[in-house]
Chain A
């Protein structure tokens, strides 16, 4: 049987394709995917999955890697981590596209499998491409709020475990392909970067590589192609990064979902989820609202009583897992003062619960350092005025370097526990 269509190697004619181009693109991918793996791990650690019901992934063996206490300093730690994770993820997309293009003839090689080693390589490649595309697109769809794409699965668990599939298949790919990369750089070094269009010649024809058997005349140099890919990658990053950096850059980032503030005034900053979408009824936040404290003794406090306690003011960010952030000036009662009131001044952790009646993020458990940091507040006011309902009135948690959704809004109950 003789192959046809894309299985015919002569049909792939681009003179730029070949092991060298694929290797150069892989260097860029390795750097950015390295950033993704590190920031992804830290992002998961920041949720403190070892505490209470914080874990959203179903608690596999891998959770043993997350026993350590997430710090509260620097306060911008989570902001920087998530901004980097999301922006580097979007910057990866043009490079992944270029890499897929550069190696495309190999996807259609004929015969598809030559040996058991080749079969394992094809399997790892399938897992690598599949998990890469899944990670990139599920991430983008999550920050674009296209939640109906996730009807079949849970985003957090699927994105997290897809990263394990990615890591395993990536390492297998590195074992298989690193000799190809070493050979490409040994033969050509970075010389192709110095070649203009007139000097651009195809890599040696070899049916085992992605180099063309019947190359066309080049219309673009390799450095021209790499320059375009790099500029596109940087452009994709700039079109999003403003929502992490804030200020005037927010508006410049044309495709950032959080590119504009939702309103004006002291409460006019970004809202993660509104009270209405969280099912909060305004009447349950009014005069009947009480904060319940549980420690070695139980206390109930009205908002007036909370306002009569010592108030502290700090400028702190809320930073979302989606990469956007906003820094505001919060005023309220220290969490550790509330622990004292409940007779649990030495508590090792605190479970904070919201008025919100359902959703996995209606509650969060904070660690010892987060509970006892002097900047950790049950905020009652922001920028000199009462919190708006959408920002968590009557009271919300603000803790430095804490993932945004763990800064619980509409707080109803705090349970101080030994660690």
Chain B
């Protein structure tokens, strides 16, 4: 009966409700601050922007790259060796963009320079691609020496 109406057992209901109550407590405390709704608004903006802009964009890029990879078959797939450094670089930017684009109050509060983070991010990005290319060359050379039975490319 319970399973049919609720979709899970009573322990599920009791446990989930108890912990959601705890989460609700934290939520009500945050919302004692009159401007806390800006946090929720920011999340809605991020989710909508992701679904309408970023998701179609990176899906299209990924599919194009996968098609290009499939049309040039090799024993070692190229795609991960391009995607990994690119994704790590993007993630580094997302995390540290206040330093990279020189926003923030580091200099005015502590006298420390905000310059240099952009350059270091670019150098690190280059280094990631170089390391990735070297590891690709290594894997490709190893695959040529010991040809594995027919597995080629990516989809």
Contacts and interface: CB of A to CB of B under 8 A. Distances in A.
Note whether A and B form a binding pair.
yes
Interface string A162-184: 11111111111001100000000
A169 B8 contact: no
Given A62-B25, A114-B7, A171-B22, 19 more contacts: A94-B91, A116-B7, A121-B16, A144-B96, A151-B38, A152-B38, A152-B39, A157-B33, A158-B39, A161-B30, A168-B19, A168-B26, A198-B148, A198-B149, A219-B66, A260-B113, A262-B111, A271-B111, A274-B111
Interface of B: 5-8, 11-13, 15-17, 19-27, 29-30, 32-33, 35-39, 43, 51, 55-56, 59, 66, 69, 77, 79-80, 84, 88, 91-92, 95-96, 98-99, 103-106, 108-113, 117, 120-121, 124, 148-149, 151, 153-155
A144 B104 contact: yes
Contacts, number: 209
Interface stretch (A17-25, A71-79, A122-130, A343-351): A122-130
B105 A124 contact: no
29 contacts: A58-B29, A115-B7, A116-B7, A121-B16, A127-B23, A140-B95, A144-B96, A145-B105, A145-B106, A146-B103, A147-B104, A153-B30, A153-B39, A157-B30, A161-B27, A166-B26, A167-B26, A168-B20, A168-B23, A172-B20, A176-B12, A219-B69, A219-B79, A254-B117, A255-B117, A258-B110, A260-B112, A272-B109, A272-B110
B104 A60 contact: no
A164 B24 CA distance: 9
B24 A168 contact: yes
Of B13, B19, B37, B56, the most chain A CB neighbours within 10 A belong to B19
A353 B120 CA distance: 41
Contacts of A166: 23, 26
A161 B29 contact: yes
Interface of A: 5-6, 11, 13, 57-58, 60-62, 90, 93-94, 97, 114-118, 120-121, 123-124, 127, 130-131, 133-134, 140-141, 144-149, 151-154, 157-158, 161-172, 175-176, 197-198, 216-220, 224, 228, 232, 235-236, 239, 254-255, 257-258, 260, 262-263, 270-274, 277, 390
B29 A157 contact: yes
Contacts of B13: 117, 120
Nearest to A136: B95
A165 B109 CA distance: 31
B106 A124 contact: no
B62 to A, nearest CB: 9
B17 A120 contact: yes
Nearest to B43: A130
Contact of A257 (B16, B36, B37, B112): B112
Nearest to A121: B16
A116 B3 CA distance: 10
A166 B24 CA distance: 10
Contact of B95 (A90, A120, A152): A90
Nearest to A148: B103
Q: Is the interface of A mostly helix, strand, loop or mixed?
A: helix
A165 B29 CA distance: 10
A164 B21 CA distance: 10
Given A165-B30, A172-B23, A147 B153 contact: no
Q: Which residue, of A60, A175, A271, A277, has the highest number of chain B Cβ atoms within 10 A?
A: A175
B30 A117 contact: no
B6 A144 contact: no
A262 to B, nearest CB: 5
Given A140-B95, A255-B92, A172 B27 contact: no
Contacts of A167: 22-23, 26
